[in-house]
Chain A
Amino acid sequence: MITLTDVHKSFGNNHVLRGVTLHVPKGQSMVIIGGSGTGKSVTIKSVLGLVEPDKGQIEVDGRDVHQGDRDAFLARFGMLFQGGALFDSLPVWQNVAFRLLRGALKRPRPEAREIAIEKLRRVGLKPETADLFPAELSGGMQKRVGLARAIAAEPEIIFFDEPTTGLDPIMSGVINELIREIVTEMGATTMTITHDMTSVRTIADRVAMLHDGVIQWEGPIGEMDAADDPYLQQFIHGRAEGPIEAVR
C-alpha cells in the first residue's frame, strides 16, 4: 500500500537517506528500527510530504503522494510525532478532537468531546485530563495524548514515531497492545518507529532496519532472530561490538 522507491534526502552535507526502498502491505504493521539519527523520522515525514525528498518516488495505493488532492490524502493519515507536537494553546480534549472540530469530519462539539474522552481512556488517561493544557502534563502523558490524537479520527494509515519512549513498562505494554489492536481490529496500516525490542516483538508484522541511509534488512518478524545480517543482530542484541560503530 505504501511504497518508497530509491528515496534520497540530504540536509546540506548530511546525506540522511541514500536510496531507501520499502514496501508496506495493506493492513500490516511495519516497524522501523535503526540507530539514533539514521533518518527514521525523516523517512515517515517524507511519506506525509512534510519533508520533500531530493530524489525517488513515494506512492500510496499506487499513486504518487505529490499528486492529487492533498486534503483528501492527508485525511487518511494519523501521525504521532516523536515530540508529541501538541497544540499548547488548546486544552487536551480539543487537541485529541482537532480533526473532529473542523473540516470534512466536523461534528457537534459535545460529540467530539465524548470521542476525545473515549480515546484518552484507551491510552490510559482519565477524563479529568481532558480539560488540562498540554503544558500541565508530564512527558509520558503528552505522548499518550499525541497517540490519542493520531487515532481519534480512525484513519486508515497511522504512523507512530517512538510511541513508548518515556513511558513506564506497564504503560508501554498497554500502548503496544493498543497499537496491535488498531491493526488487527480496525485493519489499519501502520508504520512504527521504536528502539524498544519488546515493542518490536509485540507490534510488528514486518521489521525494517535503517542503517547508513538504506534499508539494511527487511522481513517478517518471525525471521528476524534467525536472520544472519550482522548489523541487525548487533542492533537487536544491543551489542557494543559489531559492524555498527558506536562513537565514544
Chain B
Amino acid sequence: MSAVLSPLAALGRTVLAILAYVGRIALFAIEAVSHLLRPPFYWREFGNALIQIGWLSLPVVGMTALFTGGALALQIYDGGARFQAEFAVPSIVAIGMVRELGPVLGGLMVAARVASSIAAEIGTMKVTEQIDALVTLSTHPMKYLTVPRMVAATLAVPVLVGVGDSIGIFGGYLVGVNRLDFNAAAYLKNTVDFLELWDVVSGLIKGAVFGFIVAICGCFFGMNSGRGAQGVGRATKAAVVAASVMILAANYMLTEVFFAA
C-alpha cells in the first residue's frame, strides 16, 4: 500500500511546495506594487533598467521572431496545402505571430535573458551584504531594486513584442515571397486586411503581463537567494524556471479570458 501511496505523497508535497511559492511570489508582487504607489521613485535606476531589459533584449527578441515567422510560413503553407488553403498563409502568420507566438516566445526569451540576470545581480548583492548596506543607507531595497525593474519590464516587454510581431511578419513575408512564390503586394495586402486591432492589442497586453512576471520572479528569487555562490546559482535557475512556467500558465489564462470576451 505504502509503495503505491509514497509517490503520491511525494507528488502532493511537491504540489504544495509549488503552491506555497506561488503564494509568496504573489505577496511579493503585491508589496512591490504597493511601494510603487508611495514615493520616492528612483528614476535613474528606472532608466538603467529600461536599457537593460528593453533595449538590450531587442536583438534576441528580433532574431527569435524572424526565424519563427519564417518557419511558421512554411508550416502553414504545408498544412494549408492539404485542403487547398495556401492563400491563407499571410493572414495566419500575422494572426499567429501577433496573438500568440510573438508575446509567448518574446516573453520566454526575456525570461531567459532578464530574469536570470536580475536574479543573479540581486542575489549577489544579497550574499555580499549590499542589500543590508542599502538598508543602512536609508534606502528601501524594494523601492530601489524591485520597483524600477518591475515598471521597466512591464513597459518594455510590450514594445519588444510589438517590434517582434513586425519582424516575425516580415520573416513570414520573406519566406512567402522568396520560397513560396507569393506576390509581394498580395502578401502584404492579405496580411493587413485580415488583422484586427484587437489581435495586436491582446498580444501587447500579454507582453505587459509577461514582463511583470519576469521582473517579479527575478527580484523575488534574487532577494531570497541562499548564501554563497551556490545560493546565487540556485536563485538564478529558479527565477528562469518559475518565470517561464508562469508565463505559459498566464498565457493560457489570458487567452481564455480574451477568447471569452
Chain B interface residue count, Cβ-Cβ cutoff 8 angstroms: 15
Tier of interface size on chain A: 20 to 34
Are B136 and A48 interface neighbours, CB within 8 A?
yes
Pick from B128, B129, B138: contact of A103, CB under 8 Å: B138
Minimum CB–CB distance from B157 to chain A (whole Å) comes to 22
B128 touches A85 (CB 8 A): yes
B42 interfacial by beta-carbon distance below 8 Å: yes
Chain A residues with CB under 8 Å of B125's CB are 87
Interface pick from A75-83, A175-183, A210-218: A75-83
Whether A104 contacts B136 by the Cβ 8 Å rule is no
Closest CB in chain B relative to A86 CB, distance in Å: 7
Chain B residues numbered 114-147 whose CB sits less than 8 Å from any CB in chain A: 121, 125, 128-130, 132-139
- Residues on B with C-beta less than 8 A from A71 are 138
In the complex formed, the residue of A with least CB distance to B121 is A89
**Interface presence of B40 (CB below 8 A):** yes
User: Quick check: is A122 within 8 A (CB to CB) of the other chain?
Assistant: no
Contact of A83 among B42, B129, B137 (CB under 8 A): B129
Quick one: which of B121, B125, B136 has the most chain A CB within 10 A?
B136
By the criterion CB–CB under 8 Å, are A81 and B138 in contact?
A: no
- Which residues of A have CB within 8 Å of B40? 102-103
**CB distance A98 to B137 under 8 Å?**
yes
Contact B128 A75 (CB under 8 A): no
Bitwise interface map of A from 30 to 67 toward B, beta carbon under 8 Å scored 1, else 0: 00000000000000010011100000000000000000
Which residue on B lies nearest to A155, using beta carbons? B136
Q: How far does the alpha carbon of A98 sit from the alpha carbon of B133 in the complex, in Å?
A: 10
A99 and B129 within 8 A (CB): no
Quote the shortest CB–CB distance from B66 to chain A (angstroms). Answer: 32
**Separation of A85 and B130 alpha carbons in the complex (Å):** 5
A107 → chain B, closest Cβ, in Å? Answer: 15
> Contact between A102 and B130 (Cβ–Cβ < 8 Å)?
no
A149 to B125 CA separation, bound complex (whole angstroms): 17
The residue in chain B whose Cβ has the minimal distance to the Cβ of A73 is B138
Complex contact A102–B139 (CB within 8 A):
yes
Neighbour of B130 across the interface among A49, A77, A78, A87, CB < 8 A? A87
User: A81, A89, A98, A99: which contacts B132 (Cβ < 8 A)?
Assistant: A81
Candidate in B40, B42, B125, B138 with the most chain A CB atoms within 10 angstroms: B138
Q: How far is the CB of B164 from chain A (nearest CB, A)?
A: 28
Decide if A137 is an interface residue (CB 8 Å cutoff): no
Within 8 Å CB of B128, what residues of A?
83, 85
Using a CB–CB cutoff of 8 Å, the interface residues on chain B facing chain A are 40, 42, 121, 125, 128-130, 132-139
Q: Which 7 A-B pairs have the closest CB atoms?
A: A85-B129, A85-B133, A79-B136, A74-B138, A50-B132, A81-B129, A71-B138
